[in-house]
Amino acid sequence: MSRFNVKKVAVLGAGVMGAQIAAHLVNVKVQVVLFDLPAKEGPKNGIVTKAVEGLKKLKPSPLGVADDAALIGQANYEEHMEQLRDCDLIIEAIAERMDWKLDLYKKIAPFVAPHAIVASNTSGLSITKLSEALPEEIKPRFCGIHFFNPPRYMYLVELINTPTTDSHILDDLETFVTSALGKGVVRAKDTPNFIANRVGIAGMLATMKEVENFGLTYDVVDDLTGKKLGRASSGTFRTADVVGLDTMAHVVKTLQDNLNAETDPFYASFGTPEVLKTLLEMGNLGQKSKAGFYKKV
């Protein structure tokens, strides 16, 4: 029987993942506060409100079975940080940048409740390195909680501990993720990109190289790697657009930064494909910027 009773969750970051994780939590009647950057920081102005509005339009509505009031959009961290104090779980889902995440953890630490679990949705940054920004009293309650995109529908969640995570934390979180969120858990070691992204990104990069080398079209490859093959996925390139090409490039960089060509020649041989570099330089980030491999996604 779990000691961990989750009534209120803070989700930090209202992007591709954070907004939908928040929606899923609301659907299972957990109260949620959803944070993003302060409105004054330019183009992200009002992003939380936009995320909530966008989610309401999805069919079936992720907010359909819960009271909208349960999802409280807050556009400014500094003013609303007090809301963290009564959260049982804090899920960090900001951009895949180690420096940004470390900075954020230092800011939130004074507001974390003494019983709360703090978990990162990073795609593959070292959970142990992330924990180093936290004070000693929070480190035993810190771990990785890696949802897959789209988190409302994908069943898998990877849970990752660090050498300082208390032994019951992953048990408590697994009970919550399976029984309250209705998902399946795989416990992963704290290795670069954990399990699924470590294996998955290699296949995606190899596919991109094939397209470059043999002049294939995205449509044909998506047919071959997606629905026409009987998979639920819409194929390599549509999936990349949904993931976000900036996030994908960060995942590739995590491999490059952490794997040694001598010990891991297979993974270390994958560089960032030229087409991905070009799209990023053009500001085409996939679905979130309305253009990626496909023009209208």
Point out the catalytic residue in the list 27, 120, 121, 123: 123
Q: Which is nearer to ligand NAD, 2 or 45 (CB)?
A: 45
Least gap, CB of 21 to ligand NAD (angstroms): 9
Angle 250-256-260 (CA atoms, 0-180°, nearest 5)?
155
- Using CB under 6 A as the binding rule, whether residue 192 contacts ligand NAD is answered as no
Instruction: Quote the CA–CA distance of 42 and 36 in Å, as a whole number.
Output: 12
Specify whether 197 is catalytic: yes
Residue among 235, 244, 273, 292 that touches ligand NAD (CB under 6 A): 244
The identity of residue 203, as a single letter, is G
Residue among 34, 205, 211, 243 that touches ligand NAD (CB under 6 A): 243
**Which residues lie closer than 8 Å to 6 by C-beta, 6 or more apart?**
30, 88, 89, 176, 180
Q: Which residue is nearest to ligand NAD (CB)?
A: 15
Contacts with ligand NAD, 54-93, as mask; x by CB under 6 A: ---------------------------------------x
Query: What are the backbone angles phi and psi of residue 109, rounded to the nearest 5°?
Result: -50, -45
Q: Count the site residues for ligand NAD by CB under 6 A.
A: 28
Bridge partners, 33 (sequence order) = 10, 72
Residue among 4, 39, 44, 83 that touches ligand NAD (CB under 6 A): 44
**C-beta separation of 207 from 221 below 8 A:** yes
Residue among 11, 26, 72, 94 that touches ligand NAD (CB under 6 A): 94
In angstroms, the Cα distances linking 135 to 70, 109, 120 are: 30, 7, 16
Is the Cα dihedral 181, 183, 187, 192 positive or negative?
Answer: negative
Specify whether 158 is catalytic: yes
Of 120-159, binders to ligand NAD (CB under 6 A) are 121-123, 147-149
- Using CB under 6 A as the binding rule, whether residue 280 contacts ligand NAD is answered as no
Token readout for 107 is: 């800011």
Instruction: Quote the CA–CA distance of 93 and 87 in Å, as a whole number.
Output: 16
- Using CB under 6 A as the binding rule, whether residue 50 contacts ligand NAD is answered as no
Least gap, CB of 214 to ligand NAD (angstroms): 27
**Which residue, 125, 44, 96, 51, is CA-closest to 246?**
96
Q: Which is nearer to ligand NAD, 12 or 221 (CB)?
A: 12
Least gap, CB of 215 to ligand NAD (angstroms): 28
Q: Which is nearer to ligand NAD, 41 or 67 (CB)?
A: 41
Q: Left (φ > 0), alpha (ψ -120 to 50) or beta: where does 37 sit?
A: beta
Specify whether 250 is catalytic: no
- Using CB atoms within 10 Å of the CB of residue 272, give its burial: 0 to 12 exposed, 13 to 18 middle, 19+ buried: middle
Q: Which is nearer to ligand NAD, 100 or 294 (CB)?
A: 100
Q: Tell me the H-state helices in 13-126.
A: 16-27, 47-57, 77-80, 98-108
- Using CB under 6 A as the binding rule, whether residue 292 contacts ligand NAD is answered as no
**C-beta separation of 187 from 159 below 8 A:** yes
Catalytic residue positions, numbered: 123, 146, 158, 197
Could you list the residues that contact ligand NAD (CB under 6 A)? 12-18, 35-37, 44, 47, 93-96, 100, 104, 121-123, 147-149, 243-244, 247, 288
